[in-house]
Amino acid sequence: MGLADELRMECDMVRHSFHPVHLQRGPAHSDTVEGIRALAVDKDHAPQWQPQRIEDISPDMVQAFFHSPWPVQAHPLRALADI
């Protein structure tokens, strides 16, 4: 994988982290936002993860992070070229 493809994949994963529609959740209910709330907002250091246990995470839940939410021609980093 070239650098441009890696950066596009990272962009895709960050998008999924804040907009986990593949988990049937909106941005306000993402684990990323929950982690920020627990650490920086309320400072209770007690995030309420969904699912709560790592054993409850399925391979399908993880695999979805590797699928781009954008079609190739509409990706925000579509113009990047490998150096």
pLDDT at 22 over 90: no
Per-residue confidence (pLDDT) for residue 83, from 0 to 100:
64
In this structure, is the dihedral angle defined by the CA atoms of residues 74, 19, 59 and 11, taken in order, positive or negative? positive
Alpha-carbon span 21 to 18, nearest angstrom: 9
Provide the residue ranges of all domains of the chain, joining segments of one domain with +.
Answer: 3-74
Q: What is the pLDDT of residues 10-20, one digit of tens each?
A: 999 999 999 99
Alpha-carbon span 48 to 83, nearest angstrom: 42
pLDDT at 68 over 90: yes
The 3-class SS string of 23-79 reads HCCCHHHCHHHHHHHHHHHCCCCCCCCCCCCHHHCCHHHHHHHHCCCCCHHHCCCCC
Q: What is the pLDDT of residues 43-64, one digit of tens each?
A: 999 999 999 999 999 999 999 9
